[in-house]
Structure 1
Amino acid sequence: MEQRHALALKQFNMKATPKRLAILGMLEAEKGYASPEELWKRLRDRFDRLGLPTVYRILEELAASGILTKVIHPNRQLYYYFCSNREHHHHFVCLSCRKVEDIPSCGIEALEREVSLRNGGKVLSHILQLNGLCSGCADKGVTA
């Protein structure tokens, strides 16, 4: 897994530092989203010199490169998720168990065309995130 992460970092002209690799490995194993503070608390024993600002900086670098995905929670906290799918897609986020699922279809292209025609500009990108409860949480009667 670490070798795969090192290759991914190299593709984006980023060094495969131990801290970057540790964050990627932890998020991939998570299978859901995590906050910078959660990651920092779990990693600070492993690294003598790891401050919370460093974790934020690494997460932002990885998100800007497309290796990580930002999850915007209704609680206004920013979380991060490791998504191995490099195709254009969106996410369904379970607000209870933190599971993140890919939504393979988009359907936003028509809206992009309408916006472009209406304002004369050109839409360059978009982000769509659906929040709710996964089937497992919904079946248990969990409320968000």
Structure 2
Amino acid sequence: MPHDFPSMLKELHLKVTPRRLATLAALATATTYVSPEEVHKRLQGEFARIGLPTVYRNLEELAAGGVITKVLHPNRQLYYYFCPNRSHHHHFVCLACRTVEDLECCGLEEVEKQVGGRVLSHIVQANGLCQACLQAGREAAA
């Protein structure tokens, strides 16, 4: 199912530009999470003059709007993943094959019960090895 990237950008009150559209397309066609440098490399074939700061800025704007997801890797590198699921959910990140899976469980209500207060924001990401990587004996990438 094709994505309506122009509408996504308009909903975020972001100007629809060829670079933003190409950034979304690059992320949507990736099957794993990707680094800003990988996105930059993909876009260089389409745009002779695109700087890494432009890529970073576009990725941050899209992540702030919830169109893409930031993946916080244990190596302290920041990666990005296009997730079309707009409902409240979290992610399981395989550190070997770099796939990202939706987690429908949250546990926020339980946290609020334990602290006796109200959580205003939260980030939940589970890192590990997916079943296929476990069975293949793969190790987490550095």
TM above 0.5, yes or no, is yes
SS at match of 1:53: helix
Post-superposition offset of 1:5:
1.0
Post-superposition offset of 1:95:
0.6
Corresponding residue for residue 54 of structure 1:
54
Corresponding residue for residue 65 of structure 2:
65
SS at match of 2:88: coil
Identity %: 58
Corresponding residue for residue 139 of structure 1:
135
Corresponding residue for residue 76 of structure 2:
76
Equivalent residue runs for 1:1-144 within 5 Å:
1=2, 4-117=4-117, 122-144=118-140
Post-superposition offset of 1:20:
0.8
Unmatched runs of 5 consecutive residues or more in structure 1: none
C-alpha contact 1:116 1:123 (8 A) present in aligned 2 = no
Post-superposition offset of 1:114:
2.9
SS at match of 2:8: helix
Post-superposition offset of 1:44:
1.2
Post-superposition offset of 1:116:
4.7
Q: Which structure 1 residue ranges, 4+ long, deviate > 2 Å from structure 2? A: 112-117
User: Aligned letter for 1:12?
Assistant: L
C-alpha RMSD of the superposition:
1.3
User: Aligned letter for 1:7?
Assistant: S
Count of residues in Structure 1 that have an aligned counterpart in Structure 2: 139
Cα deviation digits, residues 91-131 of structure 1 (max 9, x gap) = 000111110000011112211343353xxxx4211110000
**Which shows bigger deviation, 69-78 or 8-17?**
8-17
TM-score scaled to structure 1, two decimals?
Answer: 0.91
Distance 1:31 1:115 in 2: 38
Post-superposition offset of 1:31:
2.1
SS at match of 2:102: strand
Distance 2:16 2:86 in 1: 19
TM-score scaled to structure 2, two decimals?
Answer: 0.92
Post-superposition offset of 1:136:
1.2
Distance 1:61 1:12 in 2: 9
